[in-house]
Structure 1
Amino acid sequence: MPLEADRLRPMVGPTRWPLRRSLAWLLVAAIGLPATILAAGAWFTWQATWREARIDLTREADASAEYAMRLLLSYGIAASRLDDLLRGLTDAEIRARSPALTEVARTLAADLPQTSHAIVIDREGLVLLTTGTQREPPRPVAAEQDFFETLRAPNPPLIHLSQVFASQIEGRPFFAVSRRRSGTGNPPGPDGFDGVVNLWVEPEVVSDGLRRLLASGTDAVALVRTDGNVIARTSGMAELPAPLPPAAWFHAIAAAGLDHAVITEHTPEDGAPWLVAMRRLEGFPAYTAAIRSHAAILGAWWDAVLPQLAIGVPAMLAMLGLALLVCRGQLRLLDANDKLEARVVERTAALAEVSEALDLTPCMITDIKGRIIHWSAGCAQLYDFPREAAEGHQVAELLRTEFPAGGREGLLATLLRHGQWQGELRQRRRDGSMIVTGAQWALRRDPRTGEPHSIVSTRTDLSALHRAERALRRSEDRLQRAQEASGAVAFELARDGSVLADAAMPGLFGLPPGETVTLAALAARLHPEDRNLLAATHRSLARTGGSFSLEFRVLEADGALRWLLARGEILGRQQGGCAPCFAAGIILEVTQRRSAEAALAASGERLRLAQEAAGFGIYDHDFRTGAVTWDSRMRGFWALPEEAPVTSRSFLAGLHPEDRVLRREAMRRAKDPTGPGTYQAEFRVVGLTDRQERWIFTIGQVHFEQGRPIRLTGLAMDITDRKRSDQRNELLMREVDHRAKNALAVVQAALRLSRAESPAELVRIVEGRVAALARAQTILARRRWEGAELHALLEGELAAFLTGIRMDAPRAELIGPPVTVAAHAAQPLSMAVHELATNAMKYGALSRRGGLLQVSWRLDPAQRLLTLVWRERGGSEVVSSPARRGFGSRVIEQTVQVQLGGSLTRRWTPGGLVCKITMPLSRHDGGQPVVEGATADAA
């Protein structure tokens, strides 16, 4: 606040200059100290924000690399499976069998939901086989693509990841995961290249997966090949992306072959910095790059700094206000001292004569030069100097007097002008202790000449008064500062309902300034739901008295609500009264606290719901004290009861013994002070009470203090279902590989043993037998190689005869309960049925008009047998068995007796062949069962 010139004038004296310097330093400290603290807090917050951004982006890059690597590996495996499917086939055979092979390829591609379709390309770049719906164009569609050129070159990679291109077939952007065709039936080319098997993937589908890994909506993740071509990115792929320029930061990192990197780059447009974290894909020439802009980091920093400013700036202003109040108080003190000095002079003049008569009053008489002439007993008691030791000495030297501004000469000049002087002097007693005395000087003149000859001085000890005044001022200042800082308003409630309060009271209740405040007027401003609470509390305490603490709402004129807190004490009413005698207390506004509590509760509930939805468990391990804190989900992972304490011992007791070394290595790397401090591991846990095995994925952050790890906090998630799914997929892949090899072996045997009178007939026989195997493969694939339905197996061979168009056309009937044939028995049984059907179409019931074939089967649970009866009617009149056994007869016998462990009987009746096949449900020689299951009705 401004200081007027007349207020500063008393400070001109040399004794007041130190006070002025002290006040100036107080003002500087009141502004500088909070500002320094705010600047330091903002700087540390800025460092922490960048550090958190680096950690977030590193996690995003690692997670994206893991996701992309697994995705690309699954594409590579699918391409290998498609290549194995076509092994040994020429281009002509593939085109001839395109519908059947396309259906198998679609089934193969359907296991990968991110795959658009699979395409097989010959050595000239033409499409041999595609799972898409468009027709192939007349010219080569792949010869100009990078995957075609790369795989055609010498020493090609096993799996190639192409750049994004626009498909000539569909016109949409794709990238391809490709490999060379191997083991084809075509004549070998001069360079060993015989086409490409690839899977076309839409980048946008991969981008959707990357978006789910983002920690912040402002981040971006891209999958980039080492040559700078962008494969996928979370910002979308509306058009073909341009490759990164040769001078880009990406090429320097890729050329160095770094596995991971975190850099700060500047945009070429405006030079704004942005943070990039890169992670190399193991086994693939590509990186994942997680990017966060400087604006996003700056926004996060502002979110963290604004609460500090919201607290620090008001605190700085409050300290400045307090400093100004202290300055004003000091100036008021000087004015008070001047007034006090004037009052002391008046009192000294009025009591001068009485003081001379009262020897016990501290009184002394000195000459004009200050030598003591008279020393009263009161002075001797006050200063502890006896009369004989004081008289004749200079009073200023004896008592080491400290005079006000101007010294003794100034006081003497005032005394000569006015005849008296009153003020305070600081003096010392005989033992050296300092005392403050109120001195009253009166000038005595010679009655004859009028010349001054002596000074009468009375003294009053003001030390105790000064101490009390200082204590009172400090107490008042503290009370005023506390009240202003807290916003509390003091009040007193009289028996008649009138309220005596500070000027801020009407404003708290929304009343006009200056309005008379009564209890009824205040109650009228309360929220209707809180008026009964106030009335009940008033009635209760009016009888007994006591302290109270209430929180209630005040309704503003615009409908807004304000929360107030009232605390105080009430004196109970006297007998016969109806109101309390007296009440006093304070009222302060707590709206912000209420809003903060509501926001905190809502934030906690959102955090709890997010945690439950994500299935995460939270843990905290203090390395210094060994204390371990788990939430309820972490206890569930370890099957640890709620009442049991969480310790490192219980954690290790649930850890699978085979995974302890893995977890120990992950913890050792996380505790390394030179590393990022990230802890990440996957291990098995055996429940302490339920003994169930679970796979747990955990990630956390180690906190360091002076290079030493002090604490680990993080999240854990149950990934048991994912692990079991991976295991099932691996088993399925091995089963598919095994079945494919068996099928090829059967095809080879069929080719070696098939005999015919002409090449055309041989081709027809071989194609029929291979087609039977293919149909069995298709049925098994639909059931994920878990078995084949017997009805579907028979229906595949006899589909053309199950429903005849004419009544005289040959027909077939299938009669039997639902039965599932084991996967290993499906192909042999299919071959046997194919041979029977072939003979029936050549010589039996299916070769003549009106012919009827009935295939029936039944299960005998008691004997554990499956019996299948093949009965032909209206066929050949031959009643004896053929003289020569062909390949089909040998296939039937070998299949039923050797592979299936059953028995076979055949009878040739006048109507046709009757064949009875009996197969055991389980082999006694340790083989696998033939029938895996049947419905309850069939059993």
Structure 2
Amino acid sequence: MSRSTLSGPGGENGFRASAWLFACLLAAAIGLPAVLLGAGGWLAWKGAWREARNEVAREADAGADYASRLLLNYGIAASRLDDLLQGLSDAEITAQAESLRPAARALTTELPQFGHAAVFDRQGTVLLVTNGHPLPPGGAGFDDGFLAAMRAPGAPPLHLGEVFASPQDGKLIFTVGRQRTRTGNPSPTDGFDGLVKLAVEPEVVAEGLRRLRATPSDLIGLLRSDGRVLARTDGFTAPLPPLPTRTPFHAVAAAGAERALIADDAMLDRKPALIGLRRLDGFPAYAAAIRTRAAIIAAWREAMLPQLAIALPAMLALLGLAALVWRGQRRLIAAHDRLETRVAERTAALAEVSEALDLTPCVITDLDGRIIHWSEGCVRLYGYGREEALGRMVAALLRTEFQAGGREGLLANLLREGQWQGEVRQYRRDGSLIVTGTQWTLRREPRTGAPHSIVSTRADLSALHQAEHALRRSEARLQRAQEASGAVAFELAEDGSVLADAAMPGLFGLAPTGPLTLARLASRLHAEDCRLLAGTYRGLARHGGAFNLEFRIRRPDGSVRWLLARGEAQPRQPGRFAPRLAAGIILDVTERHHAEAALAASGERLRLAQEAAGFGIYDHDFRTGAVTWDSRMRAFWDLPEDEPVTSRHFLAGLHPGDRPLRRDAMRRAKDPHGTGTYQAEFRVVAGPAQDERWIFTIGQVHFERDRPVRLTGLALDITERKRSEQRNELLMREVDHRAKNALAVVQAALRLSRAETPAELVRIIEGRVSALARAQTILARRRWEGAELHALLEGELAAFLTGIRLDAPRAELHGPPVTIAAHAAQPLSMAVHELATNAMKYGALSRRGGLLQVSWRLDPLQRVLTLLWRERGGPEEAANPVRRGFGSRVIEQTVQVQLGGRVTRRWLPGGLACEIAIPLARQEVAEAVAVEKAVAA
């Protein structure tokens, strides 16, 4: 072909083909990224809504749990306040309001988000308020609807009031309350006898809900079932109107649904929003988590930015690639013209190639088998040089092993056919066996036609035989693997016919008879997966390539199975619409899908359980020494997140006294004949402050051939439990000790008390036992850690501290705050009781206008408490008593013997003057010794 021919029509055809290719590339450069960008945007849109639904559901659940616990605590506090007022009538509560308020406040001040508590009678009049603000007349402003709800038949045990402005300080509050029970009032006809309500500030509740939000723009609220808003994380300054009655929320509340996920336009400033609802356990209320549609769209736009950043550069890159292909095509046409010119030049080089044929293993022998020609290829193949091979019998030189019939049979066949081709086994010079593919050609005399030599070409088939052997073994292993795994091989032809293993019809639930076609298999597809497989099939027809997809089928019995198809397809031929051939395997992966779903659910439950319980997770590989801790385990040992964990870190943090205990527990766990359970409690000393904490750990040792290889387990910080156990143990022993002491004092009071009449004796004994009881109560409030002197004196002289009339006897208390040791509280209480009893019978408290002044001072250096008892306005006659009664002996015994102090009494006109000095240092030492004994026990 000449150069002019090449540059004519062929060049024009090549130019047109190049232009067509460039147009296709240009369309692909613009269309393909646009399609991918659109698909990515759709998936991102779906993902943004799916994530929003999951997060608002979790926020609603968390808000409901938080609100339920909070409101139940208020319910318990209301019950405790009701128990405090048990047996008291409305008039008694009003009269004793000042004395009841501290106790009522003490019952409720430990509540989170506590405002104040109030007690109402059956008409709604306020009887008692814990914060001490002036009471509004008739209870005005205290949520009147609450009273009507609790008076109605079938009222709930606990009720949530509406949000209103407090009449006391103007703050927004809502109330949690219950009916009063076991009052001292006459029994009401309708069973309603007043209310106990606790006030909660919505803003403080909203502060707790804010910590549960997934994003700052989300809103979490607490709503009653009637649509009244109790609290919202965005806050409000005035009570909000109820939700419109036609909102989806009212439908959910009316149905009593446990949880719901709805779209509404009326729950957040009339803006479209996604709302998760969760009903509170035990309350007619819901926790609502709200995310606006605008926030979801913003999240979708943020997710789309990376895709735009990829798609736009990709379009530009493909445009540049198309331009490069265009230029390449032009250069290719020019190169084709140059190639045709060089063909003629290469023809002249064929002579040189013939010389290269000598490198092919070729042997020429006479009819007897004696070597005439030995090529260089034979030298390389067998290792024999030409000089030593020429003239020798080839069969003897190479120790040839012929097939059945031997050389004579092959020679007879060669003389008849003129050619023979087959395989023989031969040996190289080094003795190694070789299998050669041999072709014999009979050469004849051109003039006579008589045979005179044999040309034999050889090819080394050893590697091919080894490959075939390996292939057969691989096919056998593949067949066994398919049978074991349930994989079914198939080939899908262009016409839709399917060639597959015999298990294919059973896999799809089809009858084994009849031809197997694509349409027949597709009849079993799940309706939701038909579009997916159709799109994949069209894509394979256009571009071919590998495929890997999972889909569902519905079997005749109605069961749904998951199948995995994996293989490779060849693109379609021009003018056709199906792949030329698609081959691969199909697996039933239903069990794997079920296992993955169960594993995901189990993992989520494990994570939630771990977070709720506060467990740390660890993993120790005994073979490699690798130790893995989660963040909570690192916190137990005060180990930074970026520092690798080793056994040295674990042992360094253990308390030295607990290391033998840990070694014994590990030795038992590693015993192959045991259960393999590792369980121990030990102390950890970690951090710059060397804080000591108790850790409980439990794990399981895994074995391989009776050898421990791995330990996995959980760890829990039980420091507070340990400390609580120690405190409870100490408190139990202290209470036991105090009770025995109190009983001993009661026995002494019973044994030594004297009176003229039985009634007088009962009064004396009751007074002394009451003094002991009051001291016991004060100590119990302080958890037996001591008693406040002012409270102790106030308990004995409460009736005289605020006189009802101006001429009534009264008492005054003056002194700094002083705490008396627990050992000294009961003896001092008995001494004060005897002094008070004497003052009421014979001293200043027995006369109108009498005055008792009790003052005390504390020497901080000597730790000496001096108590001054001075009566004024009593009987004018002052004389020492003729005899010493039980009271005098109690005073001397308790102050001088038990407390190690001194007492000085003077009977002056107008009443007794008594000075009591007590060394507190001695009592503190005695208290410390008692605590040490209790701890040691």
TM-score of the superposed pair, with normalisation by structure 2: 0.48
TM-score of the superposed pair, with normalisation by structure 1: 0.47
